[in-house]
Amino acid sequence: MEAHVVSNLIVAALVFGAAGLAVAIRRNRLWSEALRELARRRPIALAVVALFVVVALLESVRWRSEPEGPEAGDTVSRFEARSVVDRMFPHDFREKSYSAPLAEVEFYGGAPLAHPRSHLLGTDILGRDVLHQTLKGARVALLVGGLTSLIVIPLALFFGVTAGYFGRRIDDAFFLVSSTLMAIPGLLLLIAIIMALGRGPVQVCVALGITSWVGFARVARGESLKIRELDYVQAARALGVSEPRIIVRHVIPNLMHLVIITFVLLFSGLVLSEATLSWLGIGIDGSWGQMIDQARDELSRDPIVWWNLVAASSALFSLVLAVNLVGDAARDVLDPRTMKEHR
Amino acid sequence: MRGALRRSAAVLFAAILAGCGNDPYPLEDSLEKILYQPFDDPPKTLDPQVAYSVVDHQVIGYVYDTLLGYHYLKRPFTLIPGMAETVPEAIGLSDGRVAYRFRLRPDLWFHEDPAFEKFSPGTRTRTVEASDVAFSLLRVADPAVVSPVIEALGKISGLVDFGKRLDERRRADPEFAALRIDEQYRRAGPVDGVRVLGPLELEIVLDDAYPQILYWFAMPFTSPVPWEAIAAYDGVDGRESFAEHPVGSGPFVLSRYDKRSRIVLERNDRWYGVLHPEWKAPAATYPSEGAPGDAEAGLLDPDYVGRPLPFLSRIEFRREKEPIPTFTKFLQGYYDASGVVKESFDRVIQKGELSPEMRGLGITLAKSVEPAISYLGFNMDDAIVGASGGERSEKLRQAMSLAIDSKEFLRLFANGRGLPAQTPIPPGIFGYDAGYQNPFRQPDLDLAKKLLAEAGWADGIDPTTGRPLRLTFDVGDTGAAAMLQFGFYTSRWRRIGLDVEIAATSYNQFQDKVRRGAYQIFTWGWVADYPDPENFLFLLWTPMSRTKSGGPNTANFSNPRYDALFEQMKAMTDTPERLAIIHEMRSILEQERPWIENFYPERYALYHGWVRNEKPAGLSIPTAKYLDIDAELRALRRAEWNVPITWPAWALAAILVVVIVPGVVTFLRERQ
C-alpha cells in the first residue's frame, strides 16, 4: 500500500478514535467535568494545541490529482500525493533563493520575485516558502510526540504495573533494567539506537520511545504498589477475582489521570528532543528542528536572514508552551489531591 | 608601611595598564620580519614521507627542502630546480625503461640536531648527499613507515619488491629487525631503480615512462632525511618520535613545536640560499619573470627581483579554534593573511570586490581558482544510469547534466566563489581551455527534456511503471547544510521530470555502499597532487575503477578508446600532440557524461598592506620564503587599530562607586 494511503487511514482511525473518545467522555461525568474545567482554565492554550492538531491532520490527508493548468509544476509533483496544506498554497510557489517576508525582490541580487509580496514568512535558501515549511513541520512534531507516546505509555504501563503489582523477582528485574537504562546518558543512547536502526521517522520515534519510558514506568510502579494494598483491591482478591482482571479493572483505571498528565508532559519533551537530534543531523526531514539547524549559518550572515529561524522556533515554542500549559492544568484538574480545592 | 602600600599599588596599576593592550605577541618582536599565521587542527605528523594533509605540509614544506620546486609566479605550474642543479631529462634505456639523473648542489646542510652527535660525536650536522635522497625513497617503500604514496613511487624499478623483502626479513629474523635502520635498508637492498652514482649523483630508473615522477620530487615525500634522525627518534623508551621531531635541510628550522598552541619556524642560516647567494639558484632567488598580469600586480618589484630568499626571519603559527575570532585578529593586524569567513562575507566582499571598509584598512584581495574539481558522478555499472543502458542511458545522463546550473549553485552555497566546470581539468593545469564550453554543461531545461523524450522517458515518465523515473542520489552526509545542497541538485532534476531521492547515510555507510557498488548518483571532489592533467584524467581510467579495484574511478567509467588515449597521454610531455589527445579524451567524456563536472573551487585570500609579493598557489606548496613583511608599517597599523576603549571600564567603576558608597555610609552610620 502506498504511503499516503496509510497516512490517510491513520488519520481516519485517529478521527474515529477521537469521536469515540468524545462520546465516552460525554457519558462519564468525571472526565467531562474535567475537560470542561480544563477549557475554562486554559482556553487559549487548548485552542493553540487544537490548531496544531488540525494543521497536522490536514497535512496528513493526501491524495493525488492533476494540478490545474499546463504550467502547474513538474511531472514529478503530478504523481505525488499532495496534502490539504500543500493545496492551500499555489502550485510552484517558490523562488530562486532567499527572499524576506513580503518582499518584492530577491534577498541577494535584487531580482524580481515570481510571487512578489505573497511569501508571508519569506523563502529559504532553495526558495521554498517558509510558512509552508513551518505548517508542514507541525505534522512531524505531532508525529514524534504522538507516535512515541503510543510506544512509551503502553510499555511503561505494562512494566510499571506488573512490577508494582506483583513485586518480588519481577520488581527486581524491572529495577535492574530501568536502572541500567537510566545510567546510560540519554543522548548517547539515542544516537546509538538511531545509528543502528537507520534514519527515518519511525526509527527516531522508536529510539525516543526506548530512551524515555523508564520515568513513567517508575511512577506507575509506585502507584500500583499503593493501589494493590487498598481495601477494594484486597476485597476483590478475597472474592477470588483473577489477577489480570484486578489489574485491568481496578489498578489501571486508577492510573489514568497519571497517563494523561504524563502524555502531555512527555509530548513536549519529545518534540524538543527531536529538535536536538536534528541539530545533530539525525532528526526527521522537514521537522522544525531541521529548519532551525539549517538556519544556523543564516544567523551569522550579514545582513542577517532571520525568518527561517524565527518561524521554526516560534512554532516550536508555541506548541511546547501550549502543551505544557494544558498539561499543567490537566494535572491540577485530574489529580485527586488538587481536584477538590478548585471545585 | 605606608610606602610599601603605595609601591604595591603602583605595581598593580602598571600591571593593569600593561594588560589593557590586546597584543598577543611580545613587544620585542614587533619590528621583526615575522609572518603570523593561524592554524586550526594541528599537524598529524611531520614525517615527510608520510604527511599528506595541507596542515602537515604547511610546516614540513619549510623544514624539508625538495630536489625540485615550482616557479613561484608562472602558471601553468612549471618545475624549477631546487636542491638539484637542474630539472633532469628522461633518458631512454636500451631495455625500454626510463632513467632520470639528479645532480645535487654541493654544500647542502642538514639542520643542526643532537641526533648527529649520537652517531659521530662532536658533529651537530652534516652535508646532504645523494644517499640521503635514496634513503628517503627506500623509506617510502618501507611497510613500517606506511607512506601513502608508494602507489605512485612504486613505478621506480624494484622499490615495491624492496618493501616486501624488508618486511619478510623483519618477520623472519628478529635480529635483523633490531638492526639500525640504515643497516636494515643496506642488507635488504639494493634497489635496481635507485642508484647512487656518486656523493651528489642519483639515478632513478622507472619501469615505464612516467614523466609525472618529477612532480613527486617537488613534494616532501622525496625530501632527503638523515638516517641518524630516524635511528635516534624512534619514539621508543621515552625517546622522541621522528614524526614530532623533524630534521630537514629547508629554509626554516622548527624551533618550537607545541601542537596545542604554537609552532615556530626560524630562518635557517645554513640553507644554501643564504650561504651561496652568488649561485642565484632558482628556488632560492626571487624570480625575474612571471605570468601575465604579475608585473601589474606588483609581483615583479625591482626591489625584490633577483634577491636571495628568504626575506622573513620567522614564521609563527598560532592555534585558533574558531573562525570568527581568527578573522577579528586578522582585522586587528595580528595575522597577516586570512581567508574570507562565510559569516562576514558580505561585509568583506561586495559585488566581487573588496568592500570600501576593507580597502580603507589597506587590505588586498587575491582570488585564485584552485587546481581541484567538485563533480557529480554516475555509477556506470548501474542498469539505468550506467553504460549497459546504451544510448538511452547516455541521453539520460546528458539531460541530467544539462539540468544542473553550477553558477546558481555557487551563488547560493559558496557566495559565488568558484568557476562552473566544463571538463575534469581545472585552470592552472596543462589541457585547461578557458574558451571551451561543454555543450552539456550549459543549463538548458528544454533541451534536457527533449533528450529525455528521445531516450524514452518523455516528461520523465518511465513507461514500465507509468510514473516519473525514480533514481537515488547516494550521499555520505546527513547534516542539514549538506542536505540543502543535495536538495538543490534533486530539485533541478525534478524540473525535467525525474524523481531523484536522496539516500543520506553516514559517511562510513556510504563508503560501504560504494564498495558494494550499490549506488546510482554520487558527488565527490578531487584536489591535484601535482599539476598534471594525468592526475585528473586518471579518475576515469578503467584500471582505477572503484568497484573492481578500489581505485578512485568511482564512476566505474570504462571506455577502451579513452583508456588507450590515457596510456598514450600520460607518458608524454606538454606538447601540442598531448593537447590534441586531451581534447579527444574531453570529447569522449563530453558525450558519455560519466560525470557532471560541477565547479572548480575558488579561494579568496586577504592580505594586509604590509605583506609583499603575495600570490596564492592553490597547490599545497611552501610560498612564504618569497613573502616579505614591512614590520614598521605593521607596528604602526596595529597601534592605530587597537586603541583600547576604556569608557566601559570607567562607567563600571562609576556604577560600583554609586552602589558601594551609600552602603559604606550606611554601615558606618549604623555602627555609630
- Per-domain residue ranges of chain A: 1-67+74-89, 131-324
Q: In this structure, what C-alpha cell is assigned to residue B75?
A: 602558471
Q: Which amino acid is at A18?
A: A
Count residue pairs from A and B with Cβ separation < 8 A: 70
Cis amide bond preceding B310, omega within 30: yes
Residues of A in contact with B494 (CB under 8 A): 74, 76-77
B396: pLDDT strictly greater than 60: yes
Interchain CB distance below 8 Å, B459 and A75: yes
Q: Tell me what pLDDT residue A109 has.
A: 75
Of B343, B467, B488, the CB nearest to A126: B488
Of B342, B343, B494, the CB nearest to A76: B494
Q: Which amino acid is at A211?
A: T
Instruction: Express the helix, strand and coil content of chain B in percent, nearest 5 each.
Output: 40, 20, 40
Query: Is the reported ipTM for this assembly greater than 0.90?
Result: no
In a domain, B144, yes or no: yes
- pLDDT tens digits for B430-480? 999 989 999 999 999 999 999 999 999 988 888 888 888 999 999 988 877
Q: What percent of chain B has pLDDT over 90?
A: 63
Q: Tell me what pLDDT residue B583 has.
A: 95
- pLDDT tens digits for B295-318? 888 899 999 999 999 999 999 999
Q: What is the maximum alpha-carbon separation in chain B?
A: 112
pTM (2 d.p.): 0.79
What average pLDDT does the structure give for chain B?
Answer: 90
Query: Which residue of B328, B493, B495, B509 is the best one to mutate when testing the A interface, meaning the one whose CB has the most A CBs within 10 A?
Result: B495
B201-206 and B98-103: which strand pairing?
Answer: antiparallel
Residues of A in contact with B504 (CB under 8 A): 199
* Burial per residue of B192-225, b for 16 or more beta-carbon CB atoms within 10 angstroms, e otherwise: ebbbbeeebebbbbbbebbbbbbbbbbbbbbbbb
In a domain, B557, yes or no: yes
Q: Which residue has the cell 539515542?
A: A190
Residue-wise DSSP of A170-183: HHHHHHHHHHHHHH
Interchain CB distance below 8 Å, A195 and B343: no
Q: In this structure, what C-alpha cell is assigned to residue B207?
A: 619501469
For residue B522, give the DSSP letter.
E
Q: What percent of chain B has pLDDT over 70?
A: 97
- The answer to whether B421 and B597 are in contact (CB under 8 A) is yes
Q: What is the maximum alpha-carbon separation in chain A?
A: 82
Residues of A in contact with B483 (CB under 8 A): 285, 290, 294
B521-527 and B372-378: which strand pairing?
Answer: antiparallel
Q: In this structure, what C-alpha cell is assigned to residue B466?
A: 507509468
Measured between CB atoms, does B344 come within 8 Å of chain A?
yes
Q: What is the CA radius of gyration of chain A?
A: 24
Instruction: Express the helix, strand and coil content of chain A in percent, nearest 5 each.
Output: 70, 5, 25
From first CA to last CA, the distance across chain A in angstroms is 51
Q: Which residue has the cell 539547524?
A: A293
B620: pLDDT strictly greater than 80: no
Total domains present in chain B: 2
Of B342, B346, B468, the CB nearest to A75: B468
Of B412, B480, B506, the CB nearest to A294: B480
B314-319 and B34-39: which strand pairing?
Answer: parallel
In the CATH scheme, what is the homologous superfamily, with its name and number, of domain A131-324?
MetI-like (1.10.3720.10)
One domain for residues B284 and B388? no
B21: pLDDT strictly greater than 80: no
Measured between CB atoms, does A294 come within 8 Å of chain B?
yes
- The answer to whether A302 and A2 are in contact (CB under 8 A) is no
pLDDT, average across residues B531-538: 91
Interchain CB distance below 8 Å, B344 and A302: yes
One domain for residues B156 and B269? yes
Give residue B440's domain range: 372-603
B14: pLDDT strictly greater than 50: no
Of A108, A278, A297, the CB nearest to B481: A297
Of A79, A97, A290, the CB nearest to B480: A290
Measured between CB atoms, does A79 come within 8 Å of chain B?
yes
- The answer to whether B62 and B315 are in contact (CB under 8 A) is yes
**Chain A: closest CA distance from residue B478 (Å):** 6
- The answer to whether B162 and B141 are in contact (CB under 8 A) is yes
- The answer to whether B205 and B193 are in contact (CB under 8 A) is yes
- The answer to whether B37 and B335 are in contact (CB under 8 A) is yes
Q: Within its chain, how far is the Cα of B605 from the centroid?
A: 14
Q: Is B374 exposed, middle or buried (0-12, 13-18, 19+ CB in 10 A)?
A: buried
Q: Which residue ranges in chain A fall short of pLDDT 50?
A: 70, 342-343
**Chain A: closest CA distance from residue B488 (Å):** 7
CA distances from B128 to B104, B134, B521 (A): 9, 11, 50
Of A77, A125, A294, the CB nearest to B412: A125
**Domain CATH code at residue B378:** 3.10.105.10
* A 97-116 → B contacts, CB under 8 A: 97, 108-109
B499: pLDDT strictly greater than 70: yes
**Chain A: closest CA distance from residue B227 (Å):** 47
One domain for residues B51 and B185? yes
For residue A105, give the DSSP letter.
B
Chain B nearest-CA residue for A126: B488
B12: pLDDT strictly greater than 90: no
Interchain CB distance below 8 Å, B491 and A126: yes
Interchain CB distance below 8 Å, A199 and B478: yes
Domain boundary among B603, B635, B654: B603
Measured between CB atoms, does B314 come within 8 Å of chain A?
no
Measured between CB atoms, does A341 come within 8 Å of chain B?
no
Residues of B in contact with A282 (CB under 8 A): 478
pLDDT, average across residues B76-102: 92
**Chain A: closest CA distance from residue B421 (Å):** 21
Of the listed ranges A14-18, A170-174, B79-83, B341-345, the one predicted with least confidence: B341-345
One domain for residues B539 and B409? yes
CA distance B323 to B316: 18
